[in-house]
Structure 1
Amino acid sequence: MTTAIRSQVIPVSDLDAAKAVYTALYGDPHTDTPYYVGYDAGGFEVSLTPGDVSGGPVAYTDVEDLDGAREKLLAAGATERDAPRQVAPGARVCVLLDKDGNAIGLRGE
């Protein structure tokens, strides 16, 4: 399994307020929509999404086979927080939890 952490998604309760802070840090976002604001942080994607902030930010590991990586982690004792879902053409994500409740994001096809 080839893996690389290439993005972090930060849930926010007030997108405009968060956007002001992260724009001050990273400059203007490359994507600015009501449901996703994305920044290029030196080749690493930092994004803001409105939603439930209780789970905290999630770092997403890029994997070649999302379903295979997910099954391998579930077999090792991870549990599912968010089932796989399509987020863009050719890209799906899911979030698993380790035994301590830490989020493990997977992004792949």
Structure 2
Amino acid sequence: MKFRQLTEINENEGETWHYWLQVNGNEVALGHLEDFLEETANEMDQHHPEFAFEGRIMSEQEVDVLIKHADHGYMPTHQKFTGKIVLPDDLEILGPFDLLYKGAVEDLFE
């Protein structure tokens, strides 16, 4: 299984978190989510958006090593989410903050 890195830079907690999202079976949803984050960042003219996809795709074994050695602050610096991604119909209304803030991306997985 492969995983894609979604990064959240949380200035409130002074931490950066890396969420590893299952790619297999979620390619279309991940594409929609990436487009949504890019459009939102462009609309807000953010050069350093709070949420962004990194180009990194890793195997589950590689992600598990990162998780095993992750730093722990407010939350672990690396977290893995598996299952099917279901994006809400009101994606644009919610916005990235309500959708993803502090690991809420987990709620998108069935």
| TM-score category, normalised to shorter length | under 0.3
Larger fraction in strand: 1
Instruction: Kindly indicate whether structure 1 or structure 2 has the higher relative contact order, using CA contacts under 8 Å at least 6 residues apart.
Output: 2
Which of these two proteins has the greater Rg computed from alpha carbons? 1
TM-score between the two structures when normalised by the length of structure 1: 0.25
TM-score by length of 2: 0.25
